[in-house]
Chain A
Amino acid sequence: VNLNNVTFKEKSTWVSLVIMLFVYYGYFSRVLDGFLNNSLNKGENVGLFIGAVVVLVIFQVVFQIIAALSNVKDADQPTDERDRLFAVKAGNASGWVLSGCVLTIALLIFVEDLNSIWAANLLVLALVISQVVCYIVTLFYYRRGY
């Protein structure tokens, strides 16, 4: 792959995908450990969640700046119709995934009588999955073409 032919938007999407997977892998592995050891309480979980969001924002800002500085001219270009089309298609797929996940979680809450920590974490997982799908669909169109 010749990086000169990769738009800043695509590079930025790769960066976002890697950061998202890295941060939420860390978050959910800690939450799961807490569940398995029966040591996770609401306060600790909220702390982990806020920590994950803060780390995500910091990583995004730092790595997006690094990506932009690696090719200022490309980063300066406004998005064009191809970027917008792929964003719409990815957003559409992501929306379907989010709807499916939320409906499944709602059903689980009704049937299994989940507690609030489980429900909250499943909703966070749904958001993460839908966002990851959004990034992957965007990258799929950039790589495969449309």
Chain B
Amino acid sequence: VKAHISNNIRKLRFENDEMSQQALADVVGVTRQTVFAIEKSKYSPSLEVAFRIAEVFEVPLDEVFQYTSKR
């Protein structure tokens, strides 16, 4: 089963006063490059980081990340 995890982080940053990748990275506790990789779907973060991102934007997890399985 191949899975794909997409996300709305770019949109959520825009809606939160154009929050920078660095600002989000600092709050979440990862590097700016990791936020960039997550946004581009080149890295699937741990559950903990995923929940922290959702917490920053004050939205449920599934508003940040969407899971699609490709069978």
What are the residues of chain B within 8 A of A5 when measuring CB–CB?
A: 33, 36-37
| Interface residue ranges of A130-146 to B (CB < 8 Å) | 144-146
In the assembled complex, the Cα of A81 lies from the Cα of B43 at a distance in Å of 11
In the assembled complex, the Cα of A5 lies from the Cα of B31 at a distance in Å of 10
Q: Which residue of B lies closest to A146 (CB)?
A: B43
Which listed segment binds A: B10-18, B44-52, B54-62? B44-52
With A5-B36, A145-B37: A82-B43 Cβ-Cβ less than 8 Å: yes
In the assembled complex, the Cα of A10 lies from the Cα of B31 at a distance in Å of 12
Whether A81 and B37, one on each chain, are in contact in the complex, defined by CB atoms closer than 8 angstroms, is: no
Whether A145 and B31, one on each chain, are in contact in the complex, defined by CB atoms closer than 8 angstroms, is: no
Interface residues on A, range: 10 to 19
Whether A80 and B29, one on each chain, are in contact in the complex, defined by CB atoms closer than 8 angstroms, is: yes
Whether B41 and A82, one on each chain, are in contact in the complex, defined by CB atoms closer than 8 angstroms, is: no
Render A1-25 as a binary contact track against B, CB cut-off 8 A, 1 for contact: 0000111001000000000000000
What are the residues of chain A within 8 A of B40 when measuring CB–CB?
A: 145
Q: Which 5 A-B pairs have the closest CB atoms?
A: A145-B42, A80-B30, A7-B33, A82-B34, A5-B36
Please, could you name 22 A-B residue pairs with CB atoms under 8 Å apart, sorted by A? A5-B36, A6-B33, A7-B33, A7-B34, A10-B33, A74-B33, A77-B31, A80-B29, A80-B31, A80-B34, A81-B30, A81-B49, A82-B31, A82-B37, A82-B45, A83-B31, A144-B42, A145-B41, A145-B42, A146-B42, A146-B43, A146-B44
